[in-house]
Amino acid sequence: MPLVRLSEEEDPAPNLAPMIDVILVLTIFFMCATKFSGDERSFDLDLPQAGAAASPSPPRQEVVEVQASGDVRLGAETIAVDDLAARLEAIRAAHPELAVTIRGERAVPHGRMAEVYEACQAAGVRNVAIAVRSRAATARAPGAVRQ
């Protein structure tokens, strides 16, 4: 951007006139573009009709909790890890798009979480997630202690 000096005593200053021109041109462009998109939505279309359109049902969600003591709960029922695969497979037979969220306490050993994950895989569940709490949410929680 060329610097303009009006006299020898003044410090040079940038010329703002071209920048103002560009801003005005962009403003006019966006005003016209907004008008055109509104016109496009007003087309009168003859859309096809469907008699019995089935709305997709959301996948069934199950929560597997792993406690620090090693107990595993599916929903509200405490079960053995060996029985978890069979129970999930029975649920998956009724709901093929079964989604499982594994929630484990911080003190749960990694091996126990791996056993639960393997049980989900053995049951044929493809959508498995492990629940965690973000550090930002933990820091903002009331009564949280920062380390």
Residues 35 and 106 in one domain: no
Provide the residue range defining the domain that includes 111: 61-140
Type and span of the H or E element at 103: strand 99-104
d(CA 69, CA 86): 22
Binned at pLDDT 50, 70 and 90, residue 146 comes out as very low
What per-residue confidence (pLDDT) applies to 15? 83
Q: Are residues 87 and 116 in the same domain?
A: yes
pLDDT band at 11 (very low <50, low <70, confident <90, very high): confident
| Residues 19 and 71 reside in one and the same domain | no
Q: Judge whether 6 lies within some domain.
A: no
Tell me if residue 113 falls in helix, strand or coil: helix
Highest mean pLDDT among 19-28, 31-40, 59-68: 19-28
Mean confidence (pLDDT) of the chain: 81
When divided into structural domains, the chain yields a total of 2
DSSP character at residue 70: S
Count the neighbouring beta carbons within 10 Å of the beta carbon of residue 99.
16
Do the Cβ atoms of 113 and 70 come closer than 8 Å?
Answer: no
Considering Cα of 126, then 131, then 135, then 137, what sign does the dihedral take?
Answer: positive
Phi and psi (nearest 5°) for 73? Answer: -120, 135
Read off the pLDDT of each residue in 43-62 and give the average, rounded to a whole number.
72
Q: Is residue 19 part of a domain?
A: yes
Range with the poorest average pLDDT among 11-20, 66-75, 108-117: 11-20
69 and 127 in a common domain: yes
Instruction: Using a cut of 0.85, tell me whether the model's pTM lies above it.
Output: no
Residue 139's pLDDT band (cuts 50, 70, 90): low
